[in-house]
Amino acid sequence: MQLQDGGRAIKASGTVRTYERLDYRGSVAADDGGPDLYFTPGSIVGTDSKDTEVGVRVQFDVLRSGGGFVAENIRRL
């Protein structure tokens, strides 16, 4: 997965692969491939955390974090 212009976020879409409903953490698989992107409770926009579950299609921003990438601003499609 590549980022534009020196690390700014890019928009992507994909599918929720794992989701822990008790702590709102999980991972998404981007449509364009690459490793799964992890997310935390603050990554889900609005009330979508109540509707998030494995298999749901989402749109998100890809950001570099530490040694990898994470999904932020996750919205259900």
- Quick: pLDDT tens for 63-73: 988 878 899 99
- Model confidence pLDDT, tens digit, residues 26-42: 999 999 998 999 999 88
How many domains is the chain partitioned into structurally? 1
The whole-number pLDDT of residue 72 equals 93
> What's the rounded Cα separation, in Å, for the pair 44 and 71?
9
Helix (H) / strand (E) element for 51: namely helix 48-51
**Whole-structure pTM value:** 0.83
Query: What is the residue type of 33?
Result: G
> What's the rounded Cα separation, in Å, for the pair 59 and 5?
20
68 found inside a domain:
no
> What's the rounded Cα separation, in Å, for the pair 77 and 47?
13
Helix (H, G, I), strand (E, B) or coil at 74: strand
75 found inside a domain:
no
- What is the domain range of residue 13? 1-52
